[in-house]
Structures are given as structure tokens and as C-alpha cells.
A and B are shown apart, each in its own frame.
Chain A
Amino acid sequence: MENKKNILTTSNLSIGYHSKGKSKVIAAKLNLKLSSGNLIALVGANGIGKSTLLRTLTAIQKPLSGQVILNQREIIQYEMAELAQNLSLVLTERLPPSNLTVFELVALGRQPYTNWLGKLSQEDYSKINQAIALTHIDHLLDKKHYEISDGQLQIVLIARALTQDTPLIILDEPTTHLDLLHKVSVFKLLKKLSKETGKCILFSTHDIDLAIQLSDEMIVMTAENVWQDEPCNLITKGVFTSLFNDDSITFDNEKGKFIISS
């Protein structure tokens, strides 16, 4: 894709948290660049700080130092409603019980644009229908959200984020709890969406081999460093072997997958 636009960049970003007056740095000097039309995977071992990074990138948590810049403006300067028009999320948490239908759930994505009573306009309906068409969930619309499978729900939540009509979508582990077939179909959908809509899509995942095959770029977090590059370049650099601090797991550069030696 030509004309790739930088959607989100970080400059000298340090992430971490404050506790008892001391600041604990998880990763420092991050200079990441997320551009439009790209599908970007964020990988790293459990507890390495993926969530902290995502929380910082989505302005839920403040950076220790440095900046997160979304569309040429620092992210902490956005009003809530304004941010919601630039960044949408798909989270791992379970939805609270309710009677929402799939259509109503997808339509909620229009909240940043509707009036104080949440009335949907003609434009809102057309955005909702676009998202439904892109994700092929027409047959689910009248179902309650608890009546569909986990895989279907994940796709419905992606449709909700699409309806929010933001240049950047961030997904937190969208493929956990899914079987291989559904993992692949979620990944393929994300790939298709990034190409067809020109959105920038960032997702965290533990399905590294799938991510290597399907994503345009990857951000790899290890205790020592954070890399951002195309998957094949990361393989050549041997980054994946250092991913897990364990001698029994090695990355086979030829086959592009992890090998467990006993």
C-alpha cells in the first residue's frame, strides 16, 4: 500500500507504574510507529508488559515519560468523546449479562457520534450496515449476545469497533479461547479489514506462528528489548528465540515455528 499514514507514534516512551513512591519501569525508550492499512501483532511472554503497553497506548494509563501521539496530537490531550472517534477497542473481558441483541451491540459503537439520547441517524445506520456487511454477521443480528458462540461473539465485537469508525483499532488477545479454525478466521478477517478499510489494527496475541504468517508487522516484547519490524526480518534477526527465557523452547527459523526440545 502506498501513502501509508502514521496513525500512532510513540517518542521515547517509558511505560510502567508507580508504587509506593517509586516508579517501576517495564519498558523504556519505545519508538513505535503504527501506520494505516497495517495489521500489527504484539507478542511477548506472559507478564512481560503487553497489557501495560496497550493500556498506555489507549490512554487508560499515563506514560512514565515520553509521549504517545495519535494523529499528530498527544493522546492525553484528547477529550473522552474525541478519543472515542479516533480509537476503538476490543477487550478480553466477559460482557456483563444483559438482553442486548447482536444488532444493538454493534449499534452501540455509534455512541461517540449520537445525541444525548443516543438516537441513531441515517448516517449511523449506514455505518452500522457497512460494518455488518464487512464482517458477514447478517444472520446473527436478531440473536441475543449470549446465544452465539465465542468465535461469533469475537467477530461481533470487531464489528462494533468498526462501527465506531476510527482510524485505529486495538484488540486485546482476540483469539484466546478460540479453536484453530476460529483463530484463523478472526486473523483473516483482521487482515482483510486492514486492507479494505485502510485502518491500522493492533492486536496482542499468544498465537505467534499464526501472527508471523498473517500480520504485516510485529512488535515483540522481551525483558531486554522491544522490536518492531516485519515478521521475516524479525526471524532473520533471531528475535523469536529470545522470546521465552527457557532453553527448551527454540525457534526454528526455517520452519517458522517453535520447537520444544526435551
Chain B
Amino acid sequence: MKTSRRNTFLFTTLSLTLVLALLVNISFGQVAIPLKEVFKSLMGSPSEKETWQYIILNFRLPKAITAILVGMGLSVSGLLMQTFFRNPLAGPYVLGLSSGSSLGVAFVILGAGVLPSFFSSFLLSSYGIILASCLGSVLVLLLILIVSQKLRDTMSILIVGLMFSSFTGAIVSVFSYFSSAEQLQKYTFWSMGSIGNLSWSNISLLTVAVVLGLLLSLFTLKSLDALLLGENYARSMGMNLQKTKYTIIIATSILAGSITAFAGPIAFIGLAVPHLVKLLFKTSHHKTLFLGTLVIGSIIMLLCDAVSQMPGFEFTLPINAITSIIGAPVVIWLIINRKNRVV
């Protein structure tokens, strides 16, 4: 059992890296806080400066927790989709869930001018945006459920997801053409993604959603292992294909929908993290991949967020730019190097 020793070693190292990434993430920012002080604060002992403690508890810690939730949720939904669609390029984006959210938000931000003023002021509040985003991804979910009833094979669902993305993109451009510069800016900011503006109550909401999505995902791991041999073998081994399909679709929409609502569409995490995990653990066993994805997803998201506010910067870069700058080359490199093996 060489592999199990290797896995224990990997998980220990990764857990330590996760703790380190968390500390680094909290210490970085416009006000740099020494690692020692971050540690003290988190342990509950009073910090050297009261402002540091205030910053940590009210800004940095919520942001770090959001980063972890987003990293875990998007990566796991990517993992489920890649095996289910037997497509290494699948991710929350591909089913069109993030596009659905974007459409909802674009509708609210860019289309608000057309609506009566009392209505538009509610819609433009953060609650309105969250609501619109959730509605958008739920709508796409329902569409996909209907399509998957009609089309039995998974490739077609994938294509429908892709078409929905282009459709959404087109609608958004039509909206942008008719909207003011101010509205455009607001939408652009949302679409860049942000994990820094969540209140503690929003974080608890997001936590509930992500935990629910992850729990549902747990129940699909065995079926996903069977699907590694293809749908026909999986069925012959007693897997209920319909049930698995619905569980995966619901779990991924809960994860992707809630995360996009609160943090904006964050690219590449769902696509790239599962590949990294498969490369590192060299296995297709989904229990291992699931745990690995949780840890590595959190680490990557914490680090991306840390990079977006390197000490010495006077501003914070959009998180979506960082994940894309890191994610896109990683994916290209993986595809070039994959040969026969699957990543």
C-alpha cells in the first residue's frame, strides 16, 4: 500500500500549506499585519494594536473564509462535472450556471433604468443583485433539467450549456449598448469578482449553501468512480444513472449559483483545481480527489486573493483577473502535456 502512505504525506503537507496560506492571506493587504500578530489574534489573545484586531475580525477573516468557501465549492463542482461529462474541460462555466447568474445580474444593473424608480432602487441594492444572480442560475438549472429529460446523452447537455453561455453573452452586450457609463462600470465590477464585501450574515448564508452542496456531492463519489468505465458499465454495476445525474446537477448548481451570487463569476478555479489534484495524487479515486480538491481549492483561492493585494500595492486587483492569469496558462500547459493520460 505505497499509495496510501504517499497520500497521507500529501494530505499532511497540504494541510500545513493551507494553514500557512490562511495566515499569509490575512496578513496581506493595504495594512500589512505581521504573521505573529495574525496568529495571536486568531487564537483570541489581544493584539499589539487594536486596529489590527479590528481589521482582522471585520475584514480579513470574513474575506479569508469566503475565499475558502469559494475555492472549495467551485473546485468540487468542477470535479463532479469533469467526470460526469467525461470532459476535462468541463466546469461550472460549461453548464452555463455562471452565465445564468451573469444574465440575472446584467438584467438588474443594466436594465434597471427601464423599470419604475422604487423598484430599481431595491434591485440595485446588494440583496437585489444576490437575488437576481440566484434566480439566473436556478433558471439555467431548470432549463438543463428539462433538456436532460429530452436528451439522454451528456454531450448534448454540455453543448446546450455552451450555447447558453453565448446566448447570455449576446444579451449582455445588447444591454450594455443601451446603458450608461455608470451602469456599465457597476456591472463590470461585479463581473470581475470580489470576495471582500461579505458581511458575517452573508457568510453564514454562503456557508450553509456550500456545505449543503458538498454534502450532496459526497453521495455521488461512488457513482463517479463507476462512471470512470463509462455509462454502460456503471449501469451494469448497479448505478442509478438518473439519480446520479440529478444529484450532480443540483449539487453543482447550488455550489456555483450561491458562490457566483455572492462573489461574482470567478473563472478557472473550477476548471484548473481538479486537474492539479489529479496531477498531484495520480489517481482517479473520487474519495481522494474530493478531499484533495477541498484542500487545494482553498489554498489556491487564498493565495490568489493574497496576490491580488500584495503589500506595497495601493489598490486591490480584481480576483477574477488573478485567477485567469494563473488558471489559463495552467490549463494550456496541462493540455499540451497530457498525451495519453487524462488530466
Q: Do A and B come from one complex?
A: yes
Q: Hey, which chain A residues are within 8 Å of B228, CB to CB?
A: 95-96, 98, 100, 108
Please give me the residue from chain A that is nearest to B338 by CB atom: A97
Contact bitstring B210-224, A, C-beta under 8 A = 1, else 0: 000000001101100
Assembly CA distance A109 to B219 (angstroms): 19
Please give me the residue from chain B that is nearest to A119 by CB atom: B287
Taking residues whose C-beta sits less than 8 angstroms from the other chain, chain A's interface range is 20 to 34
Q: Do residues B232 and A109 form an inter-chain contact, with CB atoms below 8 A?
A: no
Interface 9-mer from A78-86, A185-193, A212-220, A244-252: A78-86
Instruction: Give the residue of A60, A96, A100 whose beta carbon is less than 8 angstroms from that of B86.
Output: A96
Assembly CA distance A98 to B340 (angstroms): 9
Interface-central residue, A100, A104, A111, by most chain B CB under 10 Å: A111
Report if A91 contacts B (CB, 8 A): yes
Q: Hey, which chain B residues are within 8 Å of A140, CB to CB?
A: none
Q: Do residues A117 and B236 form an inter-chain contact, with CB atoms below 8 A?
A: no
Q: Do residues B236 and A84 form an inter-chain contact, with CB atoms below 8 A?
A: yes
Q: Hey, which chain A residues are within 8 Å of B221, CB to CB?
A: 117-118
Assembly CA distance A21 to B253 (angstroms): 38
Report if B235 contacts A (CB, 8 A): yes
Nearest CB in chain A: distance from B221 CB, A: 7
Report if A130 contacts B (CB, 8 A): no
Please give me the residue from chain B that is nearest to A166 by CB atom: B236
Q: Do residues A93 and B230 form an inter-chain contact, with CB atoms below 8 A?
A: yes
Q: Do residues A99 and B282 form an inter-chain contact, with CB atoms below 8 A?
A: yes
Report if A114 contacts B (CB, 8 A): yes
Nearest CB in chain A: distance from B2 CB, A: 9
Please give me the residue from chain B that is nearest to A110 by CB atom: B237
Q: Hey, which chain A residues are within 8 Å of B219, CB to CB?
A: 116
List 28 A-B residue pairs with CB atoms under 8 Å apart, sorted by A's residue number.
A80-B240, A81-B238, A84-B236, A88-B237, A89-B236, A91-B233, A95-B229, A95-B230, A96-B86, A96-B228, A96-B230, A97-B340, A99-B278, A100-B284, A104-B283, A104-B285, A105-B229, A108-B226, A109-B237, A111-B222, A111-B226, A111-B237, A111-B238, A112-B237, A112-B238, A117-B218, A117-B222, A146-B340
By a beta-carbon cutoff of 8 Å, the part of chain B in contact with chain A is: 86, 88, 218-219, 221-222, 225-230, 232-233, 235-240, 278, 282-285, 287, 340-342
Taking A96-B228, A116-B219 as given, write out 6 further A-B residue pairs in contact, using a Cβ cutoff of 8 Å, ordered by the A residue number.
A81-B238, A99-B342, A111-B226, A111-B238, A111-B239, A118-B222
